[in-house]
Amino acid sequence: MAPIAQPPRDDVDQTWKFLRNGIDRIMTNLQDGLDLRDYMNLYTTVHNFCTSQKAVSFNTSQVGAHRGAHLLGEDLYKLLTEYLTEHLNGLVAESQTHTDEALLAYYIREWDRYTNAAKYIHHIFRYLNRHWVKREMDEGKKSIYDVYILHLVKWRDVLFFKVKDKVMEAVLKLIERHRNGETIEHKQIKLVVESFISLGLDEADSSKPTLEVYRYHFEKPFLDATKVFYQNESKQFVAENSVVEYMKKAETRIAEEEERVGLYLHGDIIIPLKKACNQVLIEEHSNLLREEFQVLLDNNREDDMKRMYSLLSRISGGLDPLRLKFEAHVRNAGLTAVSKVASDADKLEPKVYVDALLETHTQYQGLVKRAFNDEPEFTRSLDNACREFVNRNQVCKLGSNKSPELLAKYSDVLLRKSSTGVEDATLEDTLTQLMTVFKYIEDKDVFQKYYSRMLARRLVHSNSSSDDAETSMISKLKEACGFEYTNKLQRMFTDMQISKDLNIGFKEHVAGLVDEKTTLDSTYSILGTGFWPLIPPTTNFNPPQEIQQDCERFIRYYKTKHDGRKLTWLWQLCKGEVKATYIKNTKMPYTFQVSAYQLAILLLFNHHDKNTYEEISMSTALNTDPLDQILAILLKAKVLISDNGKVAPGSTFSLNYDFKNKKFRVNLNVGMKSEAKQEEAETNKTIEEDRRLLLQSAIVRIMKARKRMKHQQLVSETIAQIKGRFVPKVADIKKCIEILLDKEYLERLEDEDLGYLA
């Protein structure tokens, strides 16, 4: 096969004629293929022209040589540019005959043909690119591009700007059909998007693509059309359907748009597309959604609330009104739950009260977790509501200390030995739930006072259900409030362990005494005055001789261990067991569990079958009020019989020899009302005293660090430091400041400042 004749290397017209024939084949019939020999001939023609002798014939100097090559390269570049303009004008004219999908198909087909041809032509003109184009670009010529980029620039400037509006109109119609549920050819839109992206060229550096053309000519009209479509659709849908149905529709539409991005849109559009959808589908209907929220709350429509949360979380400030409504709803639900169980607040069981609080918290905590994605702001609203109904409910109106008091009493029920107590397996979970309520208690110092008194009784009477449970509860309190809060509680356990060791030593001591034998099996607890919240007896008392002798024996032993310490006997806390061997017709003797006062009275009947009221009073030295209550308990239990059925001076009491009970161990040691009232009054009194001291110490601590402060600033900082224990009243803080001024811990300075006196 004879080789194709090359045109004269220095003849522009012949060279371009030869190149144009090849370029025409590539541009219009590339599908038929391009022979390698033909390709090499075209490449060689460009090379020969750019390196022709005529190119260096103008001047023998080096500068002239560069200039000649520059001029020849420019001729070819201009001719190629004119060719592309002519070719693209022909495509524009042909495009006028197409509309809608036919126009899209035509645009995509010609774009594909054109860009594929551009790659081949770019390679044919590679020598031109490397030398002439590169030099022009290096010299800062903004209108010169390598051959492939030139193709894109010409497509953009000649064809694209003339057909873009019709192309986008066709694209948007196709997308609207897709939104209306029709099946469309996704690939068409995807290819149009890719062509728009390819046309984004950085004028400063044509090798760096930008999204400018895509953003302005595709993204903007697409987003505008999206807004119009969904504004019309949502307005009509809301008018014909419920809010719940609209939320489902909006949720579906948003998901469809996100899916649409993956199908045929550019990933960069996802953020503005979401913003547009959120605006027209959610924000413009947000008031309607929020008005429905209360209905959903009232009817516990959890799935719908979750849907509403998901939608409104997409817009700025969308959830704020929901949080306020949620907080008010939870507060009212808690107050209602308490009012249902508080019909008779004086007889209110601690468990019933705490369960009412917990039930409300558990219900709405679950709602926050499942419907509101455990969002911190909704959790804060829940906490605010719970704090309100825990501290300011119907029961609390009887006294601000009621919630912490009842919570402490419930913990006592849980931790005390009882046939109705909680099983060990669930006790830990119950204590954890109890701490949930404790977290919301504002007067934590009140809880501490009641809890410490009840713990003291459990320890003294060996009545704790489990040492592990007691330790676990103290650990939880320590974690919540710090070491100082539980310091005294932990010292109680230390005292009990020391007492246990002391009793072992005392028993060994008594066993070694030859002349002092006793039938009394006694145990003593040594309780540190500063750590145990126990009050001294409210009555005089003469213990029975048997007990008195053992006590004196223990005192002598104790002084050998701790000389100089004084022991104060808390008879109201002492208890014992006594066997009743006098009762007829019983298989085995009854064992009475009694207080020390009851024991003293019963032992009198070892010496006399009958004892008058006056004899009992004289022997025990008990005051009238406690004596009357103790005798009434023994009469009610039918252990004693009164000759006149009364407890009063002049009455005579005798043992009931026909005593009967289903149990052989009979607990007669029930609390006396006078003791309970006195203890409660004493507890409230110490709470107030402790608060004054706590406020004064906080004020001194603050002033010692700051030296000088404004009065109002000192009040504010004191509240901030103390509110973890209780919420102080401003009036109480001011009183404490006056006390410290009188005691000369503080002084008044000019400008109403306060100063610290060392």
- What is 21-81 written as a DSSP string? HHHHHHHHHGGG---HHHHHHHHHHHHHHHT-GGGGSS-SSHHHHHHHHHHHHHHHHHHHH
The amino acid at 346 = D
Name the β-bridge partners of 209: 201
DSSP annotation of 536 = P
The confidence score (pLDDT) of residue 304 equals 95
* Crossing angle (nearest 10°) for helices 100-124 and 186-198: 40
The amino acid at 158 = V
The amino acid at 328 = A
Residue reference for tokens 């409504």: 325
- Domains in the chain (CATH in brackets) are 12-162 (1.20.1310.10), 220-298 (1.20.1310.10), 403-527+544-553 (1.20.1310.10), 528-543+554-675 (3.30.230.130), 682-756 (1.10.10.10)
Enter the pTM of the model. Answer: 0.78
Cβ contact 678:640 at 8 Å? no
Q: Which two tokens stand for residue 32?
A: 């038929």
Cβ contact 320:290 at 8 Å? no
The confidence score (pLDDT) of residue 422 equals 58
CB count in 10 Å sphere of residue 140: 7
Residue 591 main-chain phi, psi, to 5 deg: -115, 120
- Check residue 5 and give left, alpha or beta (phi > 0: left; psi -120 to 50: alpha): beta
Cβ contact 686:533 at 8 Å? yes
Q: What is the DSSP string of 484-535?
A: HHHHHHHHHHHHHHHHHHHHHHHHHHHHT-SS-------------TTT---P
Cα 135 to Cα 327: distance, rounded to the nearest angstrom: 72
Cβ contact 107:40 at 8 Å? no
Q: Is 665 helix (H, G, I), strand (E, B) or coil?
A: strand
**Among 562, 621, 573, which residue's Cα sits nearest to residue 595?**
573
Q: What is the DSSP string of 698-756?
A: HHHHHHHHHSEEEHHHHHHHHHHHHTTT----HHHHHHHHHHHHHTTSEEE-GGGEEEE
Q: Which two tokens stand for residue 284?
A: 């413009």
The number of helix segments (H) and strand segments (E) in the chain equals 30, 9
Cβ contact 654:640 at 8 Å? yes
Residue 721 main-chain phi, psi, to 5 deg: -75, -35
Cα 247 to Cα 311: distance, rounded to the nearest angstrom: 8
The confidence score (pLDDT) of residue 57 equals 37
The CA-CA-CA angle for residues 107, 112, 114, to 5°, reads 90
Residues in the chain with pLDDT values less than 70: 1-5, 9-10, 53-72, 203-208, 344-346, 398-400, 419-425, 514-519, 672-682, 684, 758
Q: Which two tokens stand for residue 722?
A: 């103390």
Q: Taken in order 261, 266, 270, 274, is the CA torsion positive or negative?
A: negative
Residue reference for tokens 């009194």: 685
Cβ contact 122:148 at 8 Å? yes
Q: Which two tokens stand for residue 716?
A: 């504010």
The confidence score (pLDDT) of residue 255 equals 94
